[in-house]
Amino acid sequence: MDSTRVFAGDCTTTFEGTRDRTTRGRVVVLVKPDRTVLVHDADGYQPVAWLTRPDSLSVEEDASGFGLTARAGEQTLRVVSHAVDGRGAYPVSEAGIPVGHHPETGEPLVRAGGAVLGLDSGVRYPLAAGARVLDERCDDCGLPLMRVERGAVFEVCVDRSCESLDDAVRERFDGAWSCPDCGSPLRLLRRSGLVAGCDAYPDCETAFSVPAGVVVDTCDCGLPVFETATGRRCLDGTCDQYMARHDGDSETDGEA
């Protein structure tokens, strides 16, 4: 579990860089897990000084006080205490939309940063692009299901080790489409994303990324047409035949 470090006291804060400034007051200094430093005083929500994700951060502490120095390029933020009111470290996590509780640990689950994660253990279940987390639970493990469009609508467990989205898409579409260049079947493969790649590889290197959407038609080139969030498109996003046929149909197809 990540921690945010908190320092409070009478401090001199110096910022050098885009605008040099020195202030003194009783402040609270937050040091986040990504090394971002925020210095807050009594007024408003905005810090009096900050440095986001610095290249380096040093923290010196002893019985008499503390000092922090953060650097990012030409910018330097220094905080030096004159009197200490408190200091400590506290667990933190990403904040997200609640999606229930973990069936084994009972910890809260939230959707944040493209994943479902546990607030206590930090367990993380990455979501497929465009996925929607459902109220329904997996029959096998009790985790939430996600609804994903990859040629068809699939409802699978957010834990891919429990239920594989790739396997579900392969079972439905592997070999269902033919390569427009050589006629060989297109296989569903994982190559830094789900792709439909020619079975004749390496003799034929044709491959297409499978978009988030459902198949609604067949293009003149023989490949499927997907209905996506931005409109209809051929599996081949650069298909000349599809674009020639639908040129000027942006209001219907949602194509820019």
CA dist., res. 110 & res. 3, Å (int) = 18
β-bridge pairing 144-151 and 213-218: parallel
Quote the radius of gyration of the chain (alpha carbons, Å). Answer: 26
Answer CATH for 3-91 from 2.70.180.20, 3.30.70.1050, 3.40.50.720, 3.90.550.10: 2.70.180.20
Token pair belonging to 22: 């020195």
Q: Which residues contact 198 (CB under 8 A, 6 or more apart)?
A: 179, 181, 182, 184, 186, 187, 204, 205, 206, 207
Q: What is the pLDDT of residues 47-68, one digit of tens each?
A: 999 999 999 999 999 999 999 9
Nearest to 27 by CA among 47, 41, 46: 41
Its pTM surpasses 0.85:
no
Spans of all domains in the chain: 3-91, 97-170
Tokens 């430093």 sit at which residue?
37
Q: Over its length of 256 residues, how does the chain's per-residue pLDDT go in tens digits?
A: 789 999 999 999 999 988 899 999 999 999 999 999 999 999 999 999 999 999 999 999 999 999 999 999 999 999 999 999 999 999 998 999 999 999 999 999 999 989 999 999 989 999 998 999 999 999 999 999 999 999 999 999 999 999 999 999 999 999 999 999 999 999 999 887 899 999 999 999 999 999 999 999 999 999 999 999 999 999 998 998 777 676 655 444 433 2
Dihedral sign from CA coordinates of 87, 91, 93, 95:
negative
- Say if residues 156 and 132 touch (Cβ distance below 8 Å): no
Q: Which residues contact 250 (CB under 8 A, 6 or more apart)?
A: 231, 256
